[in-house]
Amino acid sequence: MLDDLSPLKLLIIVAIVMLLFGGKKIPELMHGLGKGIREFKRASQGDAPETAAAPEAPKSIAEAPKA
């Protein structure tokens, strides 16, 4: 299937992706894809911590005294 992937076909695929997602969205998609691949590699190698530290809860702002 990928044997006959010529440069012209690849260019057409890239043009279609640009039309569908636009120039601003593509870097965000690639960033998310990169994070997903890194996370998959860590999980497959067993380097990921078993228990992730829970994020700290935001501290509540004390309400001003009512007059």
Cα-to-chain-centroid distance, residue 1: 28
The pTM (predicted TM-score) of the whole model is 0.42
pLDDT surpassing 60 at residue 4: yes
Q: Specify the residue for token string 């309400």.
A: 63
Instruction: From residue 15, give the alpha-carbon distance in Å to each of 21, 22, 34.
Output: 10, 10, 21
What is the tens place of the pLDDT at every residue in 7-59? 899 899 988 988 888 878 888 888 998 999 999 999 988 754 555 555 665 55
SS3 5: coil
- Classify the C-alpha dihedral 34-16-2-5 as positive or negative: negative
Query: Which helix (H) or strand (E) element contains residue 11?
Result: helix 7-45
